[in-house]
Structure 1
Amino acid sequence: MSAAGPALAAGGKGKPTTQDPTTSVDNGNGQGIGWSVEGTHATLQHVADTIDASFLHDDGLTGNGIGIALIDTGVAPVTGLTDVWHGPDLSLDSQAEEARHYDVYGHGTHLAGIITSDRADALGIAPDADLVSLKVGAHDGAVDVTQVIAAIDWVVQHRHEHNIRVLVLAYGTDSTQDPRIDPLSHAVESAWRHGITVVVGAGNTGQASPRLATPATNPYVIAVGAVDTQGTWRVRDDEVPSFVPAGTDGRQPDVYAPGVGIVSAAVPGGYLDTTYPDARQPGDLFRGNGTSQAAAIVGGAVALMLQYDPSLSPDQVKARLIEAASSSHIGPTLNIWDATYFGSANGPQTWLPSTGTGSIDASRGSSTLSVDGVALTGEQDIHGVAFDSAAWAVESSSGTAWNDGVWNDTQWTGWGWNGNTWNGWGWNGEGWHGWGWNGWGWNGDAWNGWGWNGWGWNGWGWNGWGWNGWGWNGVQWD
């Protein structure tokens, strides 16, 4: 299956069209990045056995008491994922009550199932962890880097709610900006310095790629590559699929985890489910490939480590994962049993700290949103408010970038929790004027390391959740 599909034809005012700058990649066995029925089928039981998480489960380590934040396309309340805490919806969908917080795309739900599903036939790696979902990718996947940064900052300030110790981010751009000044890189490093172990996908730009996706380029965080287990427990027959970037001499994936044929939760009737029916598995499950899936596996595994020893710092977690990884022809592969019980490495990491004072537009790389043919570019956020990276970086570093729902001098969210959901009505009246956003964003085939690829919503409606139009009324950025 190709990593890039045909763009939807434009039809009518403002309906989105999609361009895709990515290159189709394939591992030679018909198993390109994406969603298909062919090749390895890695059930979550197989994954748990492969990384030795099953032994930890037998010992009672299931992530209990550990909070994991997932910044993605939201999480749908499907079987196994009905006990999820929802942070603020920072996506373009936040203007529509029917879609607020919920995943109408399918990517976030797939990763959430890997991390913390409690269904017996598809048990997540950390089934008893508290999952906190922050939705930034819309129903068609559209997202801007400022939304992702705002979500990271929110996690930092609310980390004590649900004891958030892990952040899983399967998002990246092709920015070539130095990670020491890049704002997205600085955001994840700020989370790291506040005691949150940040796990990011290395990207899916191919083994010939000269660098990992941003923010996996940040040397502090855990950059995860994907392997094809070939359906066995043996490390010696694992293969690195061709979609995984090799990186540079200075920055390569820190650890590898299963990322081909991963079977996890689906959103029945959602975009991916209806677009890739061949990827459906019995029991409303779905099969996907990518470093996104590998990052979700590592994120869940880290929660098991932290349940066993809550005193571990992010530097210690990373050092022990690398220390205990199985050495093989492909590089360090995840072995969470050894990392949890026998790890002794303490770090600390001594890389030069980031400043975050670079360009937000450079941080986007080629991952830009557009409406009616006008791209969101320049030093501004999704609302069109000027983004002063130097001033923001100080607040991000101190964990004070949010103030009563205000981020970057604009009201983004409501005021507090209501049950298990952030009680907010989106952007406090400041929405987007227009009939449809598109962007590179979440790739319709799977994670591509550049962001989310907005394919446009097929038929402009989703019956499953009552999605019934675009129409974000209010001011637009310009």
Structure 2
Amino acid sequence: MHPSTAAQHTCAMMRLGGLRGFLSAVLAVALVAPALDTAWTSRTPSVTSLVDPSLRAGEVALVHTTTGHAGALSTSLAQLGATDLETDAAADTVVARLSPAALDAIRTDARVTVATSDITVVASGGIRGNKGFEKERLTDVAASLTATRAPFAWLRTTGEGVVVAIMDTGIADHPDLRGKVSARLDFVGDGNTQLDPAGHGTFIAGLVAANGSTRGVAPGASLVSLRVLDAQGNGKLSGVVKAFDWLLRNGKRLGVRVLNVSWGAPQATSYHKDLLSALVEAAWFSGITVVVAVGNDGPDAGTVTAPATDPFVVSVGSYNDMGTLLTSDDVASTFTARGPTLDGFAKPDTLAPGEHVLGLRVSGLVYSDASGAPIGSTTDRYIHMTGTSASSAFVTGVAALVKAARPSATPNDVKGAIVASGRQVQGSSVTAVDAFSALTRNGTANAGLVPSRLLAKILTTAHQLNVNGVSWENVNWDVVSWDGVSWETVSWETVAWETISWETVAWETVTWEGVSWEDSVSAE
């Protein structure tokens, strides 16, 4: 909607608070989201316990409690036969595999505010083949970087001063990443001592910011590793939410300005009701440009995965640079997921190289093809990947370059520059990223679009956002400043949730497809 009246130009009012846990808020509101009103009021709702009606005994549940009661609830559930217990007192959450008695108990326990299945998430895109690092394979590096025009952008900036967060399988030590990683956080909690037991995150990190024998798109940028996926590329929603919680608390202090998300889930609902959308939008409006892979389920329409379906991200598809330094032979990848989304967005927003891309390999890690046979040698330092994960990494690097060249640019500005500066490739109406042009090109992104109502509900119930009775759609979001929101100090413990019958709540689950670790490149 494009507001035009004086009332429609009302600016949202921001005020500060204290943070108890982004995790608490998003879990609670996610269950309430389908019943959200389009116009917000000042009513004070009553507290209720929201327990996923599809939750079954034997499943792992993510449970949010009233303030300060996570430890006591964990003890109670253990006494009732629950296993695999993990307690996060700071976030007032308990993860537990529920026994029948424990499941019955949480449905009536006054300490429980929200209980949901701790769903599994997996990475998108996979390692497809290995060529080692023979001299002739340097062409792969040069072809991909030349296709993005990153070397031309380096004449102005290499991304220095910008910190990029990689939310993935971790980032291992590698000679091409020496001194690059300023912080490593693990939200998997599986006891694995490897920095990256899967290799996917290290590969992404190298395409973004490597600065050794190979160079990433933004070799001057620094990295933060947020591990949310395990050695099989699987992760839990609880870990993803905790990672975003940490990012909102600490990202500004550490200088994080760009986030890469190279995983996704089939879109089940509008972005206004989707938990992953609320998470990425929180990062976006806090000043972090979020770059997301659209997934590899093309060429059919309507296959883009969440959270790439959200308008407030830079969603990225793949094209094949054909391994040449020419750009005239570049062609869109058939496997790239395509829109429209359930909300009618075309998607992806831009394209980048994503076929047979050369990147970093974790030393000592065994990479296997679809049959289980090992790929290459564990001493190899480089490997190939095909998928939109690689594409999103290239665009993440471009976002870092734009931010370094234009420090005051907002995420909308960065997205606008990337989309407006793109060049045509064969087989797609979506343009390919051009790093050099993006540094100076101005573009409009997300004009007139309404932010997630789920995120809005989180902020309004936490007294962080007030539109003074104006309909949510009638606010001119193009002129609203989010700078007044203190994302790291919002107080969520005072949030009271509406009493809602399950007939008014559409419980929406997120499912993920496994990574295909195929060796689709023949030896040369």
- Equivalent of residue 267 in structure 2, options 159, 175, 185: 175
The equivalent residue for 2:141 is 44
Where in structure 2 are the equivalents of 1:125-204 lying within 5 Å?
125-204=217-296
- So what's the TM-score if we normalise by structure 2? 0.60
Supply the AA of the counterpart residue of 1:107. H
Q: Deviations over 1:172-204 (max 9, x none)?
A: 111311111111101101111111111000111
What secondary structure, in the 3-state scheme, does the structure 2 residue paired with 1:122 have?
Answer: coil
Structure 2 CA distance for partners of 1:88 and 1:321, relative to 1, 3 Å = same
Tell me which structure has the larger Cα radius of gyration.
2
The equivalent residue for 2:307 is 215
What secondary structure, in the 3-state scheme, does the structure 2 residue paired with 1:109 have?
Answer: helix
The equivalent residue for 2:317 is 225
- Equivalent of residue 113 in structure 1, options 206, 228, 236: 206
Structure 2 CA distance for partners of 1:215 and 1:21, relative to 1, 3 Å = closer
Displacement of 1:158 in angstroms is: 1.4
Structure 2 CA distance for partners of 1:407 and 1:305, relative to 1, 3 Å = farther
Q: Distance in 2 between matches of 1:190 and 1:124?
A: 27
Q: Distance in 2 between matches of 1:149 and 1:178?
A: 19
Q: Distance in 1 between matches of 2:417 and 2:121?
A: 37
The equivalent residue for 1:445 is 517
Structure 2 CA distance for partners of 1:139 and 1:235, relative to 1, 3 Å = same
Contact 1:316/1:348 (<8 A) preserved: no
- Equivalent of residue 63 in structure 1, options 142, 156, 159: 159
Structure 2 CA distance for partners of 1:181 and 1:306, relative to 1, 3 Å = same
The equivalent residue for 1:254 is 349
Displacement of 1:327 in angstroms is: 2.5
Where in structure 2 are the equivalents of 1:326-405 lying within 5 Å?
326-329=423-426, 330=428, 331-341=430-440, 343-347=441-445, 349-356=447-454, 398=485, 400=487
Q: Distance in 2 between matches of 1:287 and 1:21?
A: 23
Unmatched tracts of structure 1, length 5 or more: 1-13, 15-19, 26-31, 359-388, 410-438, 447-478
Displacement of 1:300 in angstroms is: 0.7
Structure 2 CA distance for partners of 1:133 and 1:33, relative to 1, 3 Å = closer
Q: Deviations over 1:253-291 (max 9, x none)?
A: 000000111111101232436856446699510100111
Q: Distance in 2 between matches of 1:21 and 1:348?
A: 27
What secondary structure, in the 3-state scheme, does the structure 2 residue paired with 1:345 have?
Answer: coil
Displacement of 1:71 in angstroms is: 0.2
Where in structure 2 are the equivalents of 1:264-303 lying within 5 Å?
264-272=359-367, 277-278=374-375, 283-303=380-400
Structure 2 CA distance for partners of 1:279 and 1:197, relative to 1, 3 Å = farther
What secondary structure, in the 3-state scheme, does the structure 2 residue paired with 1:86 have?
Answer: strand
The equivalent residue for 1:78 is 174
The equivalent residue for 2:409 is 312
Supply the AA of the counterpart residue of 2:362. V
Displacement of 1:234 in angstroms is: 3.5
Q: Which has the higher strand share?
A: 2
Q: Distance in 2 between matches of 1:21 and 1:145?
A: 7
Contact 2:159/2:221 (<8 A) preserved: yes
Supply the AA of the counterpart residue of 2:163. G
Displacement of 1:251 in angstroms is: 2.7
Kindly tell me the number of residue pairs found equivalent between the two proteins: 352
Supply the AA of the counterpart residue of 2:294. A
Q: Distance in 1 between matches of 2:381 and 2:373?
A: 13
The equivalent residue for 2:96 is none
Supply the AA of the counterpart residue of 2:268. T
Q: Distance in 1 between matches of 2:461 and 2:177?
A: 35
Q: Distance in 2 between matches of 1:408 and 1:203?
A: 38
Contact 1:106/1:273 (<8 A) preserved: no
Q: Distance in 1 between matches of 2:461 and 2:387?
A: 31
Identity of aligned residues (%): 27
Q: Distance in 2 between matches of 1:177 and 1:392?
A: 22
Contact 1:226/1:258 (<8 A) preserved: yes
* Alignment root-mean-square deviation, CA: 3.5
- So what's the TM-score if we normalise by structure 1? 0.66
Q: Distance in 1 between matches of 2:254 and 2:321?
A: 33
Structure 2 CA distance for partners of 1:281 and 1:270, relative to 1, 3 Å = closer
Structure 2 CA distance for partners of 1:60 and 1:328, relative to 1, 3 Å = closer
- Equivalent of residue 128 in structure 2, options 26, 35, 50: 35
What secondary structure, in the 3-state scheme, does the structure 2 residue paired with 1:353 have?
Answer: coil
Q: Distance in 2 between matches of 1:164 and 1:334?
A: 22
Contact 2:366/2:374 (<8 A) preserved: no
Displacement of 1:79 in angstroms is: 1.5
Supply the AA of the counterpart residue of 1:108. G
Q: Distance in 2 between matches of 1:393 and 1:145?
A: 23
Contact 2:150/2:217 (<8 A) preserved: yes
Supply the AA of the counterpart residue of 1:192. W
Displacement of 1:149 in angstroms is: 2.5
Displacement of 1:33 in angstroms is: 6.0
Supply the AA of the counterpart residue of 1:239. V
The equivalent residue for 2:334 is 242
* More off after superposition, 72-81 vs 204-213: 204-213
Contact 2:282/2:455 (<8 A) preserved: no
Structure 2 CA distance for partners of 1:390 and 1:192, relative to 1, 3 Å = closer
Q: Distance in 1 between matches of 2:494 and 2:235?
A: 17
Contact 2:364/2:378 (<8 A) preserved: no
Displacement of 1:161 in angstroms is: 2.8
Displacement of 1:56 in angstroms is: 1.9
Structure 2 CA distance for partners of 1:115 and 1:337, relative to 1, 3 Å = same
Contact 1:211/1:217 (<8 A) preserved: no
Contact 2:292/2:392 (<8 A) preserved: yes
Contact 1:319/1:346 (<8 A) preserved: yes
Structure 2 CA distance for partners of 1:241 and 1:327, relative to 1, 3 Å = closer
Contact 2:349/2:419 (<8 A) preserved: yes
Contact 1:45/1:123 (<8 A) preserved: no
Structure 2 CA distance for partners of 1:333 and 1:272, relative to 1, 3 Å = same
What secondary structure, in the 3-state scheme, does the structure 1 residue paired with 2:432 have?
Answer: coil
